[in-house]
Chain A
Amino acid sequence: GENVEQHPSTLSVQEGDSAVIKCTYSDSASNYFPWYKQELGKGPQLIIDIRSNVGEKKDQRIAVTLNKTAKHFSLHITETQPEDSAVYFCAASMSGGSYIPTFGRGTSLIVHP
């Protein structure tokens, strides 16, 4: 089955800095890569996703890049703000077959004011 590795487990940055979280996946058939943000005491919420037919996607301060050859994808947050502090999960899934998303272990992002 699919295996998703996520690094780092904890990331501490100063407000205004950039943050990068990286994930690798094992199954080359995976073609959908969402990122979820989970605030304390809440359920995960999708913040951005990317499909295997594109290499990069951007939404304001958040961007995701995908390297299919290397089987890794990354989340980039620029100009971080204290409200970006949360746990971020990457995931990988595929159309059809074993279609349940596989989650990474999560990254706790702390943005210091």
Chain B
Amino acid sequence: DAMVIQNPRYQVTQFGKPVTLSCSQTLNHNVMYWYQQKSSQAPKLLFHYYDKDFNNEADTPDNFQSRRPNTSFCFLDIRSPGLGDAAMYLCATSRGAGSYEQYFGPGTRLTVT
């Protein structure tokens, strides 16, 4: 049974056209993360929520925004995608802060044309 679900699995958008990626979880975890992963690289943290508290990484471009309307759902909004934003976007959850296992979703592959 899928615990962290990401939709869609594949997304194609045009340069500059806003796009939203979604993530849902059945684990009731407090923390949700969004990562960007480019080919042959480690996941790069964009931001995370601890409950409703939003934490943005210092080097995350303003072009990336996030919403967490409730415990189960979290969204990644890319306001004006550029070619450099093409990547795999991974959502993850963890029960709490600190030394807890992260559960990753299958990812959304974003293509920008």
Which A residues contact B (CB, under 8 angstroms)? 31-32, 34, 36, 41-46, 49, 51, 89, 93-96, 99-101, 103-106, 108
A44 touches B41 (CB 8 A): no
B90 touches A100 (CB 8 A): no
User: Assuming A46-B101, A106-B41, what are 5 further A-B pairs, CB within 8 angstroms?
Assistant: A34-B101, A42-B106, A51-B99, A99-B97, A101-B102
The interface residues of chain A, by DSSP majority, are classed as loop
Please name all residues of chain B whose beta carbon is closer than 8 Å to the beta carbon of A49 when the two chains form the complex: 101
Please name all residues of chain B whose beta carbon is closer than 8 Å to the beta carbon of A99 when the two chains form the complex: 97-99
B104 touches A44 (CB 8 A): yes
A43 to B33, CA, bound (A): 13
Chain A residue at smallest Cβ distance from B42: A103
A103 to B35, CA, bound (A): 11
A46 to B10, CA, bound (A): 23
> Which listed residue, B4, B40, B98, B102, touches A95 by the CB 8 Å rule?
B98
Per-residue CB contact flags for chain B residues 1-29 toward chain A (1 = under 8 Å, else 0) read 00010000000000000000000000000
